[in-house]
Structure 1
Amino acid sequence: MYLSYAAWASNKGYGGIANFLFRHSNGERIHMMNILEYILERGAKVKVEVIPSPPEDPISIQNCFEKIFEHEVDNTKGIYKLVKMSFVEEDWATWHFMKWFVKEQTEEETLALNLLDKIKIAGGTNAGAEAIYVLDRDLQTKSDDAVLAEDKTAANP
């Protein structure tokens, strides 16, 4: 999805948004490789299957990030399913391994929600060219990580 939407954004002239989404696409591949390597290291067989095609192109920047948020929520549900399964089966190594992905999904959802908030402040689907330009420029170099509530302190809110 990130790769497809990055290509869409690039085609529309949103180089910063495309860069942000291309970086996230690469991050998703790294996550997949982490899981694949974990399975191999545990002595299990990896079965690579076809993944569904990405959804249709978004109709706006807001719609793009709404769909990304929905996608991340679906990913979170899948992660939670694996965590629960590892707990029930008392596979503590996998349960421990999956804890990182739980936090990662919290970051991914937070990041998508923060971007949606910015888009809505800029006017949502009615955002003007100047607001979209600023967002596009900002996403060119925006950190790929979100600051979570659990990581904040009184000195660094």
Structure 2
Amino acid sequence: MISEKMETALNKQIALEGYASYLYLSMASWCDKEGLEGCAKFMHRQSEEERMHMLKIFYYLSEVDGHALTPAIAQPPHEFDSVKALFEEVYAHEQKVTASIHGLLKIGYEENDHTTLNFLQWYVEEQREEEALMRSILDKLKLIGDGPQSLYYIDMEVEKVNAMAAAAEGAEEA
């Protein structure tokens, strides 16, 4: 049985993950509009991944006799000043998600909820990876610059990230 406090906090995390999925979907649409095919594909994949994160918590709450709530999701922004501004927003959002996961861990420790602490360890590792990935993309953006001709190179670099992710997913399935 999960505590009411932890159930409420996990439901807030469901909403945060759902918002992230919609935010990245909105970003994918903007990238499509800007002709950034590699970036659009990356954001579509990120959107699906965030949806999976949301559902993982949703199912967990059911397993521990909690009540998962479907969240109302706020409209994310749909215009961005540049691809650099877009990835800066992604990085800031991932940092927000990390802080939220840490808040869940704090509740778990306070309540001696070892089951949820164990469940959340996957999210701790996932967030470390997400933040590192976004920092590496931002580092590449700084190197390439943000002039009009550099968008092609930025898109190619993000497409390389897509290819590496697809290869890793294929290796996991094998």
Matched, 1:119 2:141: yes
Q: Deviations over 1:96-147 (max 9, x none)?
A: 1001101111111111111000000011xx3341x321221232241349xx
Give the direction of change, closer, same or farther, for the CA distance of 1:23–1:50 in structure 2 (3 Å limit): same
Look up the match of 2:68.
46
Structure-1 separation of matches of 2:28 and 2:165:
14
Look up the match of 2:12.
none
Q: Deviations over 1:72-97 (max 9, x none)?
A: 01111111111110111011000010
Look up the match of 1:140.
159
**Structure 2 alignment gaps of length 5 or more:** 1-22, 167-174
Q: Tell me which amino acid in the other structure corresponds to 1:127.
A: G
Q: Deviations over 1:18-68 (max 9, x none)?
A: 001100100000111111111111111111221222135211010000000
**Structure 1 alignment gaps of length 5 or more:** 146-157
User: How many corresponding residue pairs?
Assistant: 142
Structure-2 separation of matches of 1:59 and 1:109:
22
User: Which consecutive segments of 4 or more residues in structure 1 shift more than 6 A?
Assistant: none
Q: Do 1:24 and 1:144's aligned partners in 2 also have CA atoms closer than 8 Å?
A: no
Q: Do 1:122 and 1:128's aligned partners in 2 also have CA atoms closer than 8 Å?
A: no
Structure-1 separation of matches of 2:147 and 2:133:
20
Question: Comparing both structures, which one devotes a greater share of its residues to helix?
Answer: 2
User: Normalising by the residue count of structure 1, what TM-score does the alignment of the two structures yield?
Assistant: 0.85
Structure-1 separation of matches of 2:56 and 2:156:
31
Matched, 1:59 2:59: no
User: Normalising by the residue count of structure 2, what TM-score does the alignment of the two structures yield?
Assistant: 0.77
